[in-house]
């Protein structure tokens, strides 16, 4: 009996599968979802579960077992690797040299893994090489999380609590990933800073950076963040939103999408408004796939989030931060002014925040460009009020240059993102809501007739009301066709749109017979 008790005690002392991954208590829990993905050559399994006493679901990351002995050997390999490969800050900072740096590491890693693990098969070798690369060049377990395309945000609040993530399907979740200590968080923040030629120190404890892949990183050091050092990573979407996905998710109705598409086709400018995390940029991305292929498009963003079909004539522009000496900053206002000299047909602005940016935006519209921008406001009335009052103060007489205001919101009861309003701006500068979200029906419903948008389309196209009605019905038919045939990635949707603008009669043959468009 004593031997059994001793064995039980030893069993309890077994280490977790992976360093800094907390063991999971499987009692009184419900599995919500499981899936797998790969980070480099490392296979990862994710289990999302609910546990009694936890107020949010838990996200468990599981990777192949690495024994303590193997981990000690790998740490020796890593130390030897650092000695053999000497890198300067210039090499780390230059994203064009990233491939060369990785090649240099890859070559040395292969030699060292062969030396310390001579009997490993090819698959194990690739696994060990991926692991060492993440530990040496990357962000450790954070990098494993970053490889999950289902995540929007990865948040480190302090070393004493788990890493949090924002899941596209399940919202905020706690993970079983922990940082070893505050120094490790600081180290990862420093790695990110060095890659873009910036430092995060006690004297400069705030870091706002864009990683090479487009992910945005914010980091803070204690005592600015009083609980500990923090890192917040907003992931760049590898699978951008399209109009088909919006319609499938019931974010927008087909009728609303057809109306917005018609306005976009005939070069009506629009503002996409909404609160934080309401889906403004996702909406902008989805609507941008409706652009015609024979026009030059410029996008201006802080963080690269817009992704258009490959065959569009598109030039993406990004702001840059000042260097440690405070020089070299390029703002959205600078890019907007510069974009007017690049002969664009349409300009997409990631977010308008300041008076100067807004003035330039309206100047662009008045000089004949179609402009699409996001803006922080909860409804169309608030959009008009914020634009016309301090600190932005756009004269009300200029507002009709914006033909439409599309408002996004996140339903606080369900967590779903929905289009809240589709409004037009009247010649007086006032807003007129045409479509309004009905929470009980979970869809947009018409609340008033158009007083200017339809008339403007008819004025500039020469269409009669009947012809406009037929065009809207035709577009609804095409949108239903996209849904029925699951044409939803950005290039496939863009290909259909290009065909609509260049050979509509051919496209309608596929739509009318419901045959897959090639």
In a domain, 427, yes or no: yes
pLDDT band at 100 (very low <50, low <70, confident <90, very high): low
Residue 66 pLDDT grade (very low, low, confident, very high; cuts 50, 70, 90): low
Confidence band for 301, pLDDT divided at 50, 70 and 90: confident
Asked whether residue 333 falls in the same domain as residue 199, the answer is no
Q: How far apart are CA 240 and CA 242, in angstroms?
A: 7
Residue 499, in any domain of the structure = yes
Domain boundary among 234, 257, 287: 234
pLDDT of residue 88: 42
* Averaged pLDDT, 296-300: 94
Same domain, 304 and 155: no
CATH code for the domain in which residue 257 is found = 3.40.50.300
| 496-512 tens-digit pLDDT | 999 999 999 999 999 99
Domain of residue 214, CATH code: 3.30.450.370
Q: Tell me if 4 is assigned to some domain.
A: no
Give residue 496's pLDDT: 95
Taken as a whole, the chain contains a residue count of 518
Residues 195 and 84 in one domain: no
Let me know if residue 197 belongs to a domain.
yes
Q: Token pair for residue 369? A: 């460009």
Q: Out of 89-93, 325-329, 413-417, which region has the weakest mean confidence (pLDDT)?
A: 89-93
Residue 420 is assigned to a structural domain of this protein: yes
Q: What is the pLDDT of residue 10?
A: 43
3-state secondary structure of 371: strand
Backbone phi, psi, residue 300, to 5° = -125, 120
Considering 117-121, 303-307, 451-455, the range whose residues carry the highest mean pLDDT is 451-455
Span of 187-201, 230-244, 258-272, 405-419 with lowest mean pLDDT:
187-201
Asked if the model's pLDDT at residue 323 lies above 60, the reply is yes
CB 231 within 8 A of CB 188: yes
**44/159 same-domain check:** yes
- What pLDDT sits at residue 1? 44
Mean pLDDT of 480-489: 95
* DSSP SS3 for 436: strand
Which distant-in-sequence residues (6+ apart) come within 8 Å of 187 by Cβ?
A: none
* Last residue in a domain, options 190, 212, 234: 234
Residue at token pair 């109009």: 243
Q: What are phi and psi of 500, to 5 degrees?
A: -60, -45
Q: 288 near 272, Cβ under 8 Å?
A: no
Is residue 225 pLDDT above 70, yes or no? yes
The answer on 312 and 214 residing in a single domain is no
pLDDT at 21 over 60: yes
Task: Tell me whether residue 195 is in a domain.
Answer: yes
Can you read off the two tokens belonging to residue 236?
């760049």
Residue 16 confidence (pLDDT) above 70: no
Q: What percent of the chain has pLDDT over 70?
A: 88
Q: What is the pLDDT of residue 216?
A: 83
* 357/485 same-domain check: yes
Q: Look at residues 212, 234, 256 and tell me which one is the last residue of a structural domain.
A: 234
Split at pLDDT 50, 70, 90, the class of 65 is low
Question: Taking residues 444-452, what's their average pLDDT?
Answer: 96
Burial of 397: CB neighbours in 10 Å, binned 0-12, 13-18, 19+ = exposed
For residue 341, the 8-state DSSP code is T
How many beta carbons lie within 10 A of that of residue 215, not counting itself? 18
Q: Are residue 48 and residue 74 in the same domain, yes or no?
A: no
User: Phi/psi of residue 447, each to 5°?
Assistant: -115, -15
Between 269 and 27, name the one with better pLDDT. 269
Q: Which of 24-28, 48-52, 414-418 has the highest mean pLDDT?
A: 48-52
Put the strands of the sheet holding 370-376 in their side by side order: 313-318, 296-301, 346-349, 370-376, 270-274, 404-410, 417-425, 431-438, 443-446
Split at pLDDT 50, 70, 90, the class of 11 is very low
Res. 114: pLDDT tops 90: no
For residue 328, which phi and psi values (nearest 5 degrees)?
A: 90, 10
Task: Tell me, yes or no, whether 5 lies in a domain.
Answer: no
Instruction: Note whether 434 and 420 are within 8 A (CB).
Output: no
In this structure, the answer to whether residues 264 and 347 fall within a common structural domain is yes
Q: What is the pLDDT of residue 20?
A: 59
Tell me, what's the pLDDT at 57? Answer: 95
Domain encompassing residue 110? 68-137
Q: What pLDDT is attached to residue 107? A: 77
Q: Which DSSP string corresponds to 408-443?
A: EEE-TTT--EEEEEEEEE-TTS-EEEEEEEETTTTE
Do 94 and 211 lie in a common domain?
Answer: no
Same domain, 211 and 194: yes
Domain membership flag for residue 378? yes
Query: Does 125 share its domain with 146?
Result: no
302 pLDDT above the threshold of 90: no
Question: Which band of pLDDT confidence, cut at 50, 70 and 90, is reported for residue 431?
Answer: very high
Q: What is the mean pLDDT of residues 184-212?
A: 84
Pick 5 or 307 by higher pLDDT: 307
How many domains does one find in the chain? Answer: 3
The Cβ-side half-sphere exposure at 288, using a 13 Å CA radius, reads 36
Same domain, 189 and 92: no
Whether residue 304 has pLDDT greater than 70: yes
Mean pLDDT (the chain, rounded): 86
Q: Give the model confidence (pLDDT) of 330-352 as tens digits.
A: 988 899 999 999 999 999 998 88
Task: Give yes or no for a contact between 124 and 93, defined as CB atoms under 8 angstroms apart.
Answer: no
């Amino acid at each position: 009996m004593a031997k059994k008790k001793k064995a039980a005690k030893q069993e309890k002392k077994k280490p977790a599968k992976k360093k800094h991954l907390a063991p999971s208590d499987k009692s009184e829990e419900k599995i919500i979802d499981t899936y797998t993905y790969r980070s480099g050559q490392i296979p990862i399994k994710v289990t999302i579960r609910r546990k009694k006493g936890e107020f949010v679901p838990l996200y468990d990351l599981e990777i192949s077992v690495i024994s303590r002995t193997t981990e000690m050997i790998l740490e020796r390999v890593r130390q030897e690797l650092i000695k053999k490969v000497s890198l300067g800050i210039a090499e780390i900072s230059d994203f064009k040299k990233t491939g060369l740096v990785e090649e240099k590491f890859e070559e040395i890693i292969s030699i060292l893994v062969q030396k310390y693990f001579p009997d490993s098969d090819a698959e194990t070798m690739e696994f060990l090489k991926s692991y060492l690369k993440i530990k040496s060049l990357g962000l450790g377990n954070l990098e494993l999380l970053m490889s999950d395309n289902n995540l929007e945000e990865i948040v480190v609040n302090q070393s004493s609590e788990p890493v949090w993530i924002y899941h596209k399907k399940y919202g905020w979740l706690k993970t079983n990933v922990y940082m070893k200590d505050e120094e490790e968080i600081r180290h990862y923040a420093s790695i990110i800073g060095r890659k873009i030629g910036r430092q995060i120190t006690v004297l400069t404890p705030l870091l706002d950076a864009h990683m090479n892949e487009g992910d945005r990183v914010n980091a803070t050091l204690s005592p600015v963040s009083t609980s500990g050092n923090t890192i917040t990573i907003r992931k760049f979407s590898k699978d951008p939103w399209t109009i088909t996905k919006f319609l499938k998710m019931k974010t927008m109705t087909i009728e609303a999408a057809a109306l917005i598409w018609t306005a976009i086709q005939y070069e009506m400018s629009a503002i996409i408004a909404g609160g934080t995390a309401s889906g403004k940029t996702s909406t902008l991305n989805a609507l941008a796939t409706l652009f015609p292929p024979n026009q030059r498009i410029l996008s201006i963003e802080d963080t690269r989030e817009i992704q258009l079909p490959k065959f569009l004539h598109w030039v993406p522009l990004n702001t840059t931060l000042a260097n440690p000496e405070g020089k070299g900053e390029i703002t959205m206002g600078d890019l907007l002014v510069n974009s007017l000299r690049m002969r664009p047909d349409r300009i997409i602005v990631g977010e308008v925040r300041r008076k100067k940016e807004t003035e330039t935006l309206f100047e662009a519209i008045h000089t004949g460009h179609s402009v699409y921008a996001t803006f922080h406001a909860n409804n169309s009335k608030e959009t008009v009020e914020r634009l016309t009052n301090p600190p932005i103060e756009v004269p009300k007489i200029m507002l009709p240059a914006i033909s439409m205001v599309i408002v996004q919101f996140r339903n606080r009861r369900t967590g779903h993102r929905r289009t809240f309003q589709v409004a037009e701006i009247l010649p007086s500068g006032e807003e007129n809501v045409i479509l309004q979200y009905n929470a009980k029906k979970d869809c947009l419903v018409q609340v008033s007739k158009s007083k200017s948008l339809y008339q403007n389309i008819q004025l500039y196209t020469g269409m009669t009301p009947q012809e406009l009605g037929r065009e809207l019905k035709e577009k609804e038919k095409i949108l239903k066709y996209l849904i029925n045939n699951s044409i939803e990635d950005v290039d496939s949707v863009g290909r259909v749109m290009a065909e609509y603008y260049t050979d509509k009669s051919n496209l309608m043959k596929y739509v009318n017979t419901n045959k897959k468009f090639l």
